[in-house]
């Protein structure tokens, strides 16, 4: 096709509009330092605290200043930590198959709770006042009373749960990573109500939700896509490409923006124009490894943990290059306007 200079200028200008359409960009960095891996980052928006999983401990960070205000120690292989009700918080310690229950004021350990093997994602349902852990080793979900810390039952999801949301119907929707479906369960009875196959993509991780339109936004790693699903019946509405290595998702109900954090250094953003119509709002370049995120509903900022790595020769001929974290490079990226 013949492209004139005028047409090229229009195309380039349009591309710039797409990239800057939301106004989001990296506006700050909170240095954390140290070494060791990480997974989920969660925010207590009212208390202005970020809970940052960091290998064998949880860093508690002031969401507005980046100052480390405390540490929750002895959380081997921690995947995530949350603040629940009753001034209690919980962390999922994957290596020891336990959950730490802590005081959100003092950060002191209250007790450790035995759950299924390999607890990963962790989340809280305010209606039932229960905390849930997605256990990858036993392919189930443990339910914990947030007041007492007692285990109250198990959800037989028969899959490895990733991110979860609470629907307007009171049910919990969770991505099942290995079975490529959304599993729906009742947080009170712990009964599985539905299993919605995704079909058009595999390895679902990030999950966001619009209660007004009752739409699920599913981030899939295999053939990287955002899949839009009707939460009522599991019907797939549409799908769009996103960055590589998605691990988490968020939704701003005021701006109707959907966010997917991806390990290739992309924060993919889509705009929901209506229940069935979506547009690419332009990706934000973050930093390679920034695969998880927390969306702050108060400031509309997004927080993403990331680190820099050195690459070395493969451990075995023909293998992947070895990667080691640069000491002191672990940070929280702040994306805002």
The 3-class secondary structure across 295-335, one letter per residue, is ECCCCCCEEEEECCEEEEEECCCCCCEEEEECCCCCEEEEE
pLDDT band per the 50, 70, 90 thresholds, residue 3: very low
Report CA Rg, the chain. 20
**Structure token digits, residue 327:** 């000491």
**Mean pLDDT computed over 29-39:** 94
The label of the residue with tokens 């490079």 reads 329
- Cα separation, 154 vs 143, whole angstroms: 6
- Cα separation, 53 vs 116, whole angstroms: 19
CB 248 within 8 A of CB 205: yes
For residue 19, the model assigns a pLDDT of 44
- For all residues of the chain together, what is the average pLDDT? 93
- What are the tens digits of pLDDT across the range 288-318? 999 999 999 999 999 999 999 998 888 888 8
Lowest mean pLDDT among 28-37, 130-139, 293-302: 28-37
pLDDT band per the 50, 70, 90 thresholds, residue 10: very low
CB 264 within 8 A of CB 224: no
- What are the tens digits of pLDDT across the range 184-216? 999 999 999 999 999 999 999 999 999 999 999
For residue 318, the model assigns a pLDDT of 81
Q: What is the DSSP string of 86-137?
A: TTEEEEEETTTTEEEEEETTT--EEEEEE-SSSEEEEEEETTTTEEEEEETT
Percentage, residues of the chain above pLDDT 90: 88
- Cα separation, 73 vs 198, whole angstroms: 38
pLDDT band per the 50, 70, 90 thresholds, residue 5: very low
Spatial neighbors of 317 by CB under 8 A, at least 6 apart, are none
Among 82, 80, 26, which residue's Cα sits nearest to residue 49? Answer: 82
Indicate the SS3 state at residue 151: strand
For residue 311, the model assigns a pLDDT of 85
Strands of 130-135's sheet in order across: 119-125, 130-135, 140-145, 151-155
Spatial neighbors of 306 by CB under 8 A, at least 6 apart, are 286, 287, 288, 289, 290, 330, 331, 332, 333
For residue 7, the model assigns a pLDDT of 36
Spatial neighbors of 50 by CB under 8 A, at least 6 apart, are 41, 42, 43, 44, 59, 60, 61, 62, 63, 294, 303, 332
- Cα separation, 326 vs 32, whole angstroms: 13
Q: Domains of the chain, with CATH numbers? A: 22-37+202-310+320-337 (2.130.10.10), 38-197 (2.130.10.10)
- What are the tens digits of pLDDT across the range 45-82? 999 999 999 999 999 999 999 999 999 999 999 999 99
């Amino acid at each position: 096709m013949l492209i004139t200079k005028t047409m090229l200028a229009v195309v380039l200008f349009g591309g710039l509009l797409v990239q800057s359409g939301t106004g989001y960009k990296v506006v700050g960095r909170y240095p954390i330092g140290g070494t060791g891996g990480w997974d989920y980052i969660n925010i207590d928006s009212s208390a202005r605290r970020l809970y940052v999983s960091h290998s064998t401990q949880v860093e508690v960070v002031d969401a507005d200043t980046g100052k480390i205000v405390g540490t929750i120690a002895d959380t081997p292989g921690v995947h995530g930590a949350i603040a629940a009700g009753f001034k209690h918080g919980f962390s999922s310690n994957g290596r020891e198959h336990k959950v730490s229950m802590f005081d959100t004021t003092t950060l002191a350990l209250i007790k450790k709770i035995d759950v299924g093997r390999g607890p990963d994602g962790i989340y809280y349902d305010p209606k039932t006042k229960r905390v849930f852990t997605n256990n990858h080793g036993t392919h189930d979900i443990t339910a914990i009373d947030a007041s007492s810390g007692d285990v109250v039952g198990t959800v037989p999801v028969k899959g490895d749960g990733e991110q979860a949301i609470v629907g307007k119907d009171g049910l919990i929707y969770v991505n099942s990573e290995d079975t490529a479906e959304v599993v729906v369960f009742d947080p009170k009875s712990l009964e599985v109500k539905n299993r919605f196959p995704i079909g058009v993509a595999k390895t679902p991780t990030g999950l966001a939700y619009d209660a007004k339109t009752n739409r699920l936004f599913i981030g899939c790693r295999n053939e990287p896509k955002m899949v839009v699903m009707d939460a009522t019946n599991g019907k797939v509405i549409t799908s769009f490409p996103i960055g590589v290595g998605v691990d988490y998702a968020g939704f701003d109900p005021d701006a109707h923006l959907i966010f997917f954090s991806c390990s290739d250094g992309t924060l993919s953003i889509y705009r929901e124009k209506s229940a069935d119509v979506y547009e690419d709002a332009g990706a934000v370049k973050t930093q390679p490894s920034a695969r998880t995120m927390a969306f702050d509903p108060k400031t509309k900022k997004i927080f993403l943990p990331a680190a820099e790595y050195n690459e070395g020769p493969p451990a075995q001929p023909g293998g992947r290059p070895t990667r080691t974290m640069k000491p002191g490079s672990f940070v929280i990226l702040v994306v805002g306007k």
